[in-house]
Amino acid sequence: MRLSRYFLPLLKETPSDATIASHQLMLRAGMVRQNSAGIYTWLPLGHKVLKRIEQIVREEQNRAGAIEMLMPTIQSAELWKKSGRYDAYGPEMLRITDRHDREMLFGPTNEEMLTDVFSSFVRSYKDLPKILYHVQWKFRDERRPRFGVMRGREFLMKDAYSFDVTPEEARKSYNKMFVAYLNTFERLGLKAIPVRADTGPIGGDLSHEFVILAESGESAVYAHRDLVEMDAPGTNIDFDGDLQSVVDERTAFYSAADEMHDAEAFAAIPEDKRMEARGIEVGHIFYFGTKYSEPFDATVMGPDGKPNLVEMGSYGIGVSRLVGGIIEASHDENGIIWPTEVSPFDVGIINMRAGDAECDAACDDFYAKAQAAGLDPLYDDTSDRGGVKFSRMDLIGLPYQIIIGPRGLKDGIVEVKTRKTGERENLSPDAALAKLTA
């Protein structure tokens, strides 16, 4: 993409209502613009990051055997009256009356709706297990939306739902999602820790939150350092195999957020292994048994010909929240530092003298070759001065910058800057390209 053709409206001033780094940086880097309290437009740069995160989440759901579908945003209140959550949800639920005076709502989550859909079709234990998911916009009418996309009202969530015949089978589905989540966050460049969680208004008796560490985190996290340092299971794992040991290996360590913290158990950990930090919740998984299958009479015939209520779980990842979460975990005083897998462009090309025939030709050539090599480059072909271009490129945080100017070209070299380390190298254009595609 040529910057002259792109729409990248940077802000020079940091808006005063933006109090945390990710909110400030997303506004300054032209990623989002607020339309109403807690409701954002995703400008082109922000939209690209959002889509890249969504795609990684999708790939890891698919790998775990979950099947994608899509439920609508607007739901009938009937469904929620059936589960008893219509009244329980309170003012966070955006309630709507349509032209025929029917009570509707903008879905904050989809347990009721999918249980209803599922039970209308599935009759036999032979059709289970199933994990279905969608990535859809949700709405929670927060009393005080803040922190930009981290606590917005309209937000993008991946929510999966598992259906099984027995609690033992349901545990297998839970484990699949547990492992898929560890892999997902690792691919996103994040260190995410599973912590024991309160099941809250969703109900149920087995639940973990996935928390990433960041100073601005909303809650305190207490964990054994060995858990924090453990690698993800990896995408080669067999999801049909036994995952219990993989889960047990991790849940054996102490880890909890505020509300589930047990100071005594934590104190029993060797002092050098105790980690106390701030965390941001980016995922939450629940096993809740028959909580929803009961009111919706979601049963399947068992092998014995008798009906069984299906055992269910739900599994959420805050996709739009992750955009902010990744920035909280990865930025410096000059701007964002994108992990490679979610960066909106793979590389920035800076033309140091746009309008100079030789410099333009060299930049055009590098741009074309980078695209041909399968990279997605952002080419700053504007007539802005070098300082503006440098700070802009640092702000938007692409992993690499290729700086091409008349002086270097005389010696047949371009400069390659690695955003994260600030390291600079002088290389021939071919060697620079080879470095990017390595």
Q: Does 154 participate in binding a copy of itself (rule CB under 8 A)?
A: yes
Q: Does 96 participate in binding a copy of itself (rule CB under 8 A)?
A: yes
Q: Does 211 participate in binding a copy of itself (rule CB under 8 A)?
A: no
Angle at 181 between CA 123 and CA 189, to 5 degrees: 150
Nearer residue to a copy of itself within complex by CB, 99 or 410? 99
Interface pattern 128-147 for a copy of itself (x via CB under 8 A): --x-x-x--x-x-x-x----
Sign of the Cα torsion 192, 196, 201, 203 reads positive
- Whether the Cβ atoms of residue 302 and residue 308 lie closer than 8 Å to each other: yes
Please give the residues from 40 up to 79 whose contact with a copy of itself meets the rule CB under 8 A.
Answer: 40-44, 47-48, 50, 65, 67-76
The enclosing H or E element of 276 equals strand 274-289
Nearer residue to a copy of itself within complex by CB, 130 or 278? 130
Tokens of 91: 């003012």
Tokens of 157: 């969530």
Angle at 322 between CA 332 and CA 350, to 5 degrees: 45
β-partners of residue 101 are none
Q: Does 121 participate in binding a copy of itself (rule CB under 8 A)?
A: yes
Q: Shortest distance, CB of residue 47 to a copy of itself, whole angstroms?
A: 5
Residue 4 sits at φ, ψ, to 5 deg, of: -65, -20
Nearer residue to a copy of itself within complex by CB, 155 or 222? 155
Q: Shortest distance, CB of residue 364 to a copy of itself, whole angstroms?
A: 15
Residue 156 sits at φ, ψ, to 5 deg, of: -95, 125
Q: Does 174 participate in binding a copy of itself (rule CB under 8 A)?
A: no
Angle at 385 between CA 380 and CA 387, to 5 degrees: 95
Q: Which of 94, 157, 211, 237 binds a copy of itself (CB under 8 A)?
A: 94
Q: What does the alpha-carbon distance between residue 301 and residue 127 come to, in Å, rounded to a whole number?
A: 10
Q: Shortest distance, CB of residue 90 to a copy of itself, whole angstroms?
A: 9
Nearer residue to a copy of itself within complex by CB, 371 or 428? 371
Residue 263 sits at φ, ψ, to 5 deg, of: -55, -35
Site residues (CB under 8 A) for a copy of itself?
5-7, 9, 30, 33, 35-36, 39-44, 47-48, 50, 65, 67-76, 91-92, 94, 96, 98-99, 102, 104, 106, 113, 116-117, 120-122, 130, 132, 134, 137, 139, 141, 143, 153-154
